[in-house]
Amino acid sequence: MVFDLATRCVAEERGSKTGARAQVVSGFRLGVERAIPALRRYARALTRDVEIADDLVQDTLVRALRSEHLFHGGNVRSWLYTILTNLNRNRLRSLARRPTMALIGDDDAPDMAGPEAGGRDIERALANLVDDQRAALLLVVLEGLTYREVADIQGVPVGTVMSRLARARAQIKAYLDGERPALRRVK
């Protein structure tokens, strides 16, 4: 009845006491720590909500620390983006199962004036994108990752990343040019 849980905890504790292991771990920890500002930026743009974004970052960090034994080298930052992207996808899926109440109003029309207009336009234009296109666009444009890195994060071929990017840009351009948002393409 001990099950693996207790042995696992003991093993992890023992592992972190050996010198070499500790060194790898601290490098890993440093990598995670340095990535936090960028993760917050990406999450904020992805969700456009301060609280939800920081919740996502927190969940990402918890998972990363809990499963650091699964991280065998490579780019820590990319790995964190992968976790965050997947967590957000799960979040959107669970939201999709729940009926939501939304005000029907002029919320969809781009703002034409005001100092905040530019920023709000971008927010709405991003909100109008399909999730995978939004993530691809933000990882390339905001986070400065390569197509190859984004392909690994999203688990798709590079060509798919490029078509997501092209569609996202076309969609945003159409939106900002004042067209009514077209029917959202599903998948």
Partner 1 sequence: MTDRDLPVTEDELHAYVDGELPADRRAAVEAWLSAHPDDMARVAKWRALSDAVHARYGEVAAEPIPVRLSLGQIERAGRSWKSIAAAAAIAAFLIGGLAGWWARGASAAAPDPAHTFTTEALEAYKLYVIEVRHPVEVPGSEAAHLVQWLSKRVGYKLQIPDLQPLGLTLVGGRLLPGPRGAAAFFMYEGKSGDRFTLYSTRSDGQDTALRYNVEGPLASLYWAEGDAAYVVSGEADRDRLHKIAETAYAQLERGPTR
By the criterion CB under 8 A, which residues form the site for partner 1?
Answer: 1-6, 9-10, 12, 29, 32-33, 36-38, 40-41, 44-45, 54, 57-58, 61-67, 70, 82-83, 86, 90, 93-94, 97, 118-119, 121-123, 126, 137-138, 140-142, 146-147, 155, 162, 165-166, 169, 172-173
Smallest distance, partner 1 to C-beta of residue 50, A: 9
- Which is closer to partner 1, CB of 5 or CB of 104? 5
Dihedral Cα 132, 135, 137, 143, nearest 10 deg: -160
Let me know: does 16 contact 25? Beta carbons within 8 Å. Answer: yes
- Which is closer to partner 1, CB of 173 or CB of 185? 173
Please enumerate, as own/partner, the contacts of 180-185 that have beta carbons within 8 Å and a separation of 24 or more: 180/108, 181/108, 181/128, 184/128, 184/130, 185/130
- Which is closer to partner 1, CB of 4 or CB of 104? 4
Instruction: Kindly give the residue spans of alpha helices, DSSP state H, lying in the chain.
Output: 3-17, 19-47, 50-66, 76-97, 117-127, 131-141, 147-154, 158-176
Tokens of 184: 């959202």
Question: Which amino acid does the sequence have at 43?
Answer: A
Let me know: does 117 contact 111? Beta carbons within 8 Å. Answer: yes
- Which is closer to partner 1, CB of 38 or CB of 130? 38
Smallest distance, partner 1 to C-beta of residue 66, A: 6
Smallest distance, partner 1 to C-beta of residue 104, A: 25
Smallest distance, partner 1 to C-beta of residue 40, A: 6
- Which is closer to partner 1, CB of 104 or CB of 139? 139
- Which is closer to partner 1, CB of 104 or CB of 154? 154
The label of the residue with tokens 């992805």 reads: 46
Smallest distance, partner 1 to C-beta of residue 15, A: 13
